[in-house]
Structures are given as structure tokens and as C-alpha cells.
Amino acid sequence: MKHSVLATLGLQLTAVVAHGAGHVGHNLVPVEIRAPTVEHFRDIVGNDTYDFGCRPIARPTDDGQFQLHALLTREQIAHINHEYRSTNELSIRESPLAKRAAAANAPIGSGDRFKAGTVTPVGLGTQASGTTIASIMNVAEISSAVNALVANAGVTSFTLPYKTFNGATQFAAYVGAGADTSKYHLYLSAGVHARERGGPDNLIYWVADLLAANKSGSGLTYGKKTYTNAQVKTVLAAGLVFFPLVNPDGVTYDQSSSSLWRKNRNTASGKSGSSIGVDINRNFDFLWNFKKYFSSSESPASTSPSSETFYGTAAASESETKNHVSIYDKFPKIRWFMDIHSAAGDILYSWGDDDNQSTNTAMNFLSATYDGKRGVTGDTAYKEYIPAADATAIKKVADATVAAMKGVGSRSYITQQAVGLYPTSGATDDYAFSRFWAKPGVNKVYGYTMEFGYSTNFYPTLAEFNTNILDTNAGFMDWALTAIGVGLE
């Protein structure tokens, strides 16, 4: 497919989305695009108006093909079919998700089940097998749940320094290692992308499980995975910091509109429709100015406000990004970081800008010599340097996390380097890892992205929502336990 055709199609998408006054979810259809090689997807992925979920991921299929998931308009689907009508190289079909009624989606909670912070959340790991949670937390309930953990379970919360575009005051919390913030080594965040429902719930219910099990002297059970009380105490002793809702403006909008909204709600670069908002997960100060740092053939983010991956007006231009970064300063000995997303079914580890290599230290993200060469996977012009010991450590923890999630017993997950088949810039996980080299005197942090659930399934059914809690909570346990075994200092 020629890029000029894709560019034209991108302009049509902008018009379609803008006409919907922001309700982009009403125009998008989940699809599966199949091709014999990943190279067949390169032009498609290069169009920054296409929506590939959290990031473009092409997976091998049982019949030797590759499959790329996306959310497209009917017009886009027709254009792709038209472009390839004379060949058998690429095919596109609606995902089974497209046929599921909206009524099947897990409901958003109404009211406040935590009663203004007086009723403590109870996770699935401390309850009988088969117990379920009836709805996804609304934005007010996320705050109320954490307030209840503060009031009843020994958690300490704190206000973050910057208010969001819509005026929300953000907060994070910590627990397990006492009052000394230099004793905290594990940091988890959720809710960066508004439509990825359940991320904050997964995190909050896990913290609630840890504290309930610690208090009662019991262990935890997630499906077929079990953990002892000693393991619970080990995780807490490492010190947990959690930022449960990074994007409150976006989540508030998505929950009210069911529009598959991804970005925040900053109108500085656009006042209506899809031009509103910045992708927070492309706004961090890691190779943010991708036009300078990456090969012109790659699109790790977008300069277009209408794109789902719009990178903002500057590195860390967004309050949510600044607040996320401020946590590293408050807790200077954080060693391990996990950002919780959906929906792909994998654990990603650094780097996300190019293939890893451990032999040429001069070939690194700070070197101007390689500007304009980064991001093309499989070539030799550039590969991102990672010390061999770090590469071994982060892969060990990623593999253990995936094994735990699979061990719950419901579905399969994979682990892979974050670059996958296509690069990203300005992401939370790479920013975390890059700090050690970019900012003298700071701690080394190993960054991960967890993509729970199935590809592009941002609105899970109630059964899927509960399975996601079990999968992620087991994953968090083994991520933390294996990380602690590798080392916290």
C-alpha cells in the first residue's frame, strides 16, 4: 500500500472522527489484518491516524501468517480492501469483538461502594474461588477505595504537585516499608490510557489483597496460583508505591461516553473531536522528538493532534506526565516499575525504540551520531545498547510474570521486548529505564508494560474483567517476588 494513499485515507479518518464530536468509539470496528510477513504491515503502521490499540503488535498465526489488530472505520476497511483487491497478500476481517453487543460490557459502578473511604476494598485473592466483583470502579470510587486503604489498612497517600487540564487533583500512595521513602523499591501505575478499563481496579484490589492477607496471616489464591503469607510479607517489605489513576480526565470522559477514548482531555492543540488530548504514553522525555531521533520511515508517535498517539507540545508537557515523574524524586530508590495497560496479552520490557544489543556502548539513545537512524527493527544501522546483566535481569522478571499469568489457568500471555516489530518513543517504561543514563545520580529503574486481556478488548465483559483481576494480580506477585530475588539495590 502506498503511503500517499494512506495519507489521503488519514485525512478522511480525521473528518469522520471530528464529525462524531469525540465519540470515536461509535465509528471504529475492531479488525484483524493478516499478511505473510511483518513487512507487509509497515506502510499501514506508518499511518499515524490508524488506531492500533496500545501499540502495533503483529503476532504469528498457526498457519504461518502474521496478524495485526486495529480499530478502523468502515471507510478505512473499504480502502484497504480496495488497495489489495488484486492480490492475496493481505486480508482484513472484523474481529469477533465487533459482533459483541455493548450490553455485554462490564458495567461501570454507580454511586460509591466504598462509602467515602469507610468501606475497605476486598480483592479476589482473599475470597473463595468463583467470587466475582460486580462492576468496574468509577473515577470517584478509585479515590474512595484508596482513601479506605488509608483509613483502615495502613496505606499513606499523598497529593501530586500538578492539577490536570480539567482541574483534577491527582494522588498516589505507598505502603509496606514504613515512613522512610528511601525504603521503597517497587512502583506501579495504571490508567494512563482512558479506555483500557480495569487497570486501576487490578492494582487497587492487589494492594488490598496484600494488606488483608498480611493482617490475617493468610496467603493468596488467584485461580491455580497460590502464594504464602511469607511471600505476601516479602512483597510488602520491599515497599510499594502505586499511582492508580494517571489519566482521570480521560477516564471520566470515556466512562461517560463509551467512546474508546485513549488520550487525556487537553484542548491546547485542538478544541473538538479527536484533536483533543495528548497520548500520555508518548509524552515522556525519552527520544520524545522522534522526528529528530528516528528514521523517517518510522512513526513511533505522532505530531498530529488528531492521532491517538499525539505526543504533545513538548516532552513532559502534560500534568499527568509531570506527576508520574515526580514520584521518582519522592522515592529515590525505586528499582522496578510496572505500567498497567490493555489489551494485548503480553509483558513488554525495554527497550522500545529499537532492537537491543550489548556490545557497542557508543550506540545509545544519547548519542547524536545515530540521530535519524533509530527505530528500524532487524537492520544494523542502529540497535539500542543495554548492559548484558540488565538484559538478563529484566528478561528473567518478565518471563516469571508471564508464567504466573498463564498459571492462573484461563489464557495465554507472551513476553517480548517493547519494540516488538515497530518502535515507540516517549513511553513510561523506556523513560523509567533511561533515567539512569540521562540524569546523573539517579537510581537505575527497570521498566515494564503489562498488557492484560485480549487484543483491542478495551471494554471487557464482566467475566473477562474478573479474569483480568486474577491474571494481573498473580502477575504482580511473581513480578515483585522475582524482582526482589534479582535485587532491590
Mean pLDDT of the chain, nearest integer: 92
Q: How far, CA to CA in Å, does 282 sit from each of 277, 286, 312, 352, 398? A: 12, 9, 8, 11, 22
For the chain, state the CA radius of gyration.
21
What is d(CA 475, CA 59) in angstroms, rounded to the nearest whole number? 22
Longest dimension (CA), the chain: 67
Q: Which pLDDT does position 82 carry in this prediction?
A: 81
Residue 350 in 3-state DSSP?
Answer: coil
What is d(CA 269, CA 31) in angstroms, rounded to the nearest whole number? 29
Residues 18-28: b if buried by 16+ CB within 10 A, e if exposed: bebebbbbebb
What is d(CA 245, CA 1) in angstroms, rounded to the nearest whole number? 39
| pTM exceeding 0.75 | yes
Residue with cell 501499540: 55
Q: Which pLDDT does position 18 carry in this prediction?
A: 32
Give the count of beta carbons closer than 10 Å to the beta carbon of residue 213.
24
Residue-wise pLDDT for 473-482, tens only, equals 999 999 999 9
Closest CA to 393 of 311, 320, 459, 448: 448
Q: Which helix (H) or strand (E) holds 169?
A: strand 169-175
Which backbone phi and psi does 59 adopt, to 5 degrees? Answer: -110, 145
Domain range annotation of the chain: 3-95, 111-489
- Where are the alpha helices (H) located in 47-138, listed in sequence order? 74-83
Q: Is the domain covering 3-95 a CATH 3.40.190 domain?
A: no
Second CATH level (architecture) for the domain 111-489: 3-Layer(aba) Sandwich (3.40)
Q: What is the pLDDT along the chain (489 residues), one digit of tens a residue?
A: 333 333 333 333 333 333 333 334 457 889 999 999 888 888 788 777 888 888 888 888 888 999 999 999 898 888 888 877 766 788 898 988 888 888 899 999 999 999 999 999 999 999 999 999 999 999 999 999 999 999 999 999 999 999 999 999 999 999 999 999 999 999 999 999 999 999 999 999 999 999 999 999 999 999 999 999 999 999 999 999 999 999 999 999 999 999 999 999 999 999 999 999 999 999 999 999 999 999 999 999 999 999 999 999 999 999 999 999 999 999 999 999 999 999 988 999 999 999 999 999 999 999 999 999 999 999 999 999 999 999 999 999 999 999 999 999 878 899 999 998 789 999 999 999 999 999 999 999 999 999 999 888 999 999 999 999 999 999 999 999 999 999 999
Q: How far, CA to CA in Å, does 431 sit from each of 78, 108, 240, 254, 281? A: 38, 32, 19, 26, 10
Residue-wise pLDDT for 96-131, tens only, equals 888 888 889 999 999 999 999 999 999 999 999 999
Residue-wise pLDDT for 443-457, tens only, equals 999 999 999 998 889
What is d(CA 370, CA 368) in angstroms, rounded to the nearest whole number? 5
Q: What cell numbers appear for 192 in the block?
A: 494512563
What is d(CA 85, CA 2) in angstroms, rounded to the nearest whole number? 14
